[in-house]
């Protein structure tokens, strides 16, 4: 009877240790995936901000240049705004699902990498 009790205690102790180790492993895997996603997201965000700043100044210069050619500054801004309005409508109506799918696949790939 005493052997059964020791066997049960040993089994219970091993199961408890296994549970603790499995929990720690899950925490470490979660930490690894989170840090991987964040570490790839931050450099991309910095590049995006720098590229957006570049585009902003190029667009301001283009709008001012077009305005100078057309005679009034606001004409250049209207033309640039119309270009972006038309472009955004085209993207929304024709490329929205494709773009959403690409972003979704990117995040899934990063999580399972």
- CB neighbour list of residue 33: distance below 8 Å, 6 or more residues apart: 111
Q: What is the pTM (predicted TM-score) of this model?
A: 0.57
> For residue 1, what pLDDT is reported?
59
Q: Tokens standing for 52?
A: 């957006």
Find the angle CA(25)-CA(29)-CA(33) to the nearest 5 degrees: 170
pLDDT of residue 36: 78
Mean pLDDT of 26-42: 83
Domain ranges of the chain: 2-111
Q: What is the pLDDT of residues 52-109, one digit of tens each?
A: 999 999 999 999 999 999 999 899 999 999 999 999 998 888 887 887 888 878 777 7
Residue 29 neighbours by CB distance under 10 Å: 10
pLDDT in tens, 43-53: 888 999 999 99
Radius of gyration of the CA atoms of the chain, in A: 29
DSSP strand E in 31-100: where? Answer: none
């Amino acid at each position: 009877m005493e052997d059964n009790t020791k066997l049960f205690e040993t089994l219970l102790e091993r199961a408890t240790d296994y549970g603790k180790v499995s929990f720690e492993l899950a925490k470490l895997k979660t930490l690894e995936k989170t840090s991987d996603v964040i570490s790839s997201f931050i450099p991309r965000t910095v590049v995006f901000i720098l590229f957006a700043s570049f585009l902003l100044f190029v667009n301001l210069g283009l709008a001012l240049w077009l305005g100078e050619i057309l005679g009034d500054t606001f004409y250049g801004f209207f033309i640039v705004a119309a270009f972006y309005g038309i472009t955004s409508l085209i993207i929304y109506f024709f490329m929205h699902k494709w773009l959403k799918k690409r972003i979704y696949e990117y995040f899934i790939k990063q999580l399972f990498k």
